[in-house]
Structure 1
Amino acid sequence: MNIFGFHRNTGDEGQRLGSLPGAFPTAETLRSSEPNDPEAQPIAEETVPQDTTPAVVLHMFLQIPLYILYYLASIILIVLSILKPILNFNRIYDKRHKQHCDHSTEMTALLEEISSDSYAPNVSEQTSQQYMFGSIYNSDMGAVPSQYIQNSYLELLDNCSTQYKFGLIYLHDPIVTNRMSYVNNILCSERFVNCIKTYQMLLWFGDVTTSEGLQVANALKVRKFPCIGILAKKTSETAEIIYSFNGPVEEYNQKKVEAILVKKYPSLLQMIEERQNIDRDRHTREQQDERFRDSLRRDQERERQRDEARQREQQAREREALKKQWLLWRKSKLHPEPNKSQGDDVSRIAIRLDNNERKIRNFSPSLPVEEIYAYVELVQTGILDSDEQYQYGTSPPAGYQHQYKFKLIIPVPRQELDLDTLIGDELGIYPSGNIIVEALDEES
Structure 2
Amino acid sequence: MANASADIDIAQLSEEQQLALQQFTAVTDQELKDAIPLLQRCQWNVQIAIARFFDGEPADDPIAAAPPPQDIRRQETLLNGLASPRSSTSSSRLRRVEAAPRIVPQPENHVTTQAPLILTLLLAPFNLVYSLFSKFFRFTGWLFPPLTRLFTPGRTSTSASRRGASGRKALNVRDTAARFIREFEEEYGENRLPFFENGYAQAFDLAKKDLKFFLVILVSPEHDETTSFIRDTLLSQEVVDFIRNPDNNIILWAGNVQDPEAYQVSAALKCTKFPFTGVIVHTPQVSSTSMSIAARIVGPAPANQYIVKLRQAIQAHVEPLNRVRAQRTEQQATRNIRQQQDSAYERSLATDRERARKRREEAERKAKEEKEALERAQAAAKHAENLAQWRKWRASSLPPEPAAADTKDVVRISLRMPNADRVIRKFAADAHIEELYAFVECYDVLQSGDEIIDVHEPDGFEHEYGFQLVSPMPREVYDLKAGGTIKERVGRSGNLIVERTDLDSDDEEE
State which structure, 1 or 2, has the greater radius of gyration over its C-alpha atoms: 1
- What TM-score, normalized by structure 1, do the two folds share? 0.49
- What TM-score, normalized by structure 2, do the two folds share? 0.43
